[in-house]
Amino acid sequence: MGAAGVKQGRCHDSLIAGVLTRRCSRCEQVRPLTTVFYQRDRSQSAGFRPDCRECAKARGRRHRAVNRERMVTKDREYRRRNLERLREYRRHYRMANQERQRLWFREYHQKNRDIIIAKVARWRREHVERRREIARLSAGRRHALKMGSKVERVSFNRIVERDEWRCWICHRRVAWRDLHLDHVVPLSRGGSHTEDNIRVTHATCNLKKNRKLPEEMEAS
């Protein structure tokens, strides 16, 4: 059966056996003009991109490989600027898709159980000090709940990046092996388990501070 063809800009669309097709502008393969083979784009002719999905994916992979560092930096900066907005979006998404996420995670873990166990074991071996600090944060959260203090979800990474690995007491750099996270106002003195009350310290500085308030340290 014959084919009726019409060129639209960079696209070449044809009607073959009653099915509208398009010749990809890159690989020149002819495929049905549907969302299975072409991505939608309202600015393009017939509302589809001129290149097929496979070519678009390949182009995207090449772009990411060449611009990886710039894209990572841009993404990190965007997340930093929109931290609260992204956190709120994730919270709403989790609430609206609880059952769907539960089923997905269960299926994923069943299929990749051995891989996950190996990854967790490797991470534990390579991040001993970080594990200790995360454990201390968890213990601090439990203690704060028992004390009836204000509690929020805190991030180890955000705290150390905010403080730039500097002890808030002596203002010197802190190494991994000497890292503590301190409640500036102790939980036992009414302090909260929140990021604005948790700061980076040296282990020795933290032990010297003990249960003192900042003004009591200055006085001593």
Q: Tell me the pLDDT band of 220, cut-offs 50, 70 and 90.
A: low
- C-alpha distances in angstroms, 57 versus 13, 23, 62, 215? 21, 17, 9, 59
Q: Tell me the pLDDT band of 10, cut-offs 50, 70 and 90.
A: low
**Residue 108, both tokens:** 């994923």
Cβ-in-10-Å burial (0-12, 13-18, 19+) of 215 comes to exposed
| pLDDT at 11 (0 to 100) | 65
Q: pTM above 0.85?
A: no
DSSP state of 45: G
**142 or 11, higher pLDDT:** 142
| pLDDT at 1 (0 to 100) | 41
Angle of helix 53-66 versus helix 68-81 axis, rounded to 10: 90
Percent of the chain at pLDDT > 70 equals 94
**CB-side neighbour CA atoms (13 Å) of 138:** 6
- In whole angstroms, give the CA distance from residue 202 to residue 166: 9
Range of lowest pLDDT (6-15, 47-56, 179-188): 6-15
Residues of the chain with CATH 1.10.30.50: 128-219
Class of domain 128-219: mainly alpha
Q: What's the distance, CA 47 to chain centroid? A: 32
Average confidence score pLDDT of the chain: 87
| pLDDT 10s digits, 78-116 | 998 998 899 899 889 988 999 999 999 999 999 999 999
- Contact call for residues 20 and 32 (beta carbons, < 8 A): yes
Antiparallel, parallel or unpaired: β 11-16 and 19-23: antiparallel
**140 or 23, higher pLDDT:** 23
| pLDDT 10s digits, 112-167 | 999 999 999 998 888 887 788 788 788 888 888 888 888 888 888 889 889 999 99
Q: Tell me the pLDDT band of 199, cut-offs 50, 70 and 90.
A: very high
Residue that the structure tokens 């299929």 belong to: 111
Query: How many Cβ atoms sit within 10 Å of the Cβ of residue 206?
Result: 20
| pLDDT at 9 (0 to 100) | 44
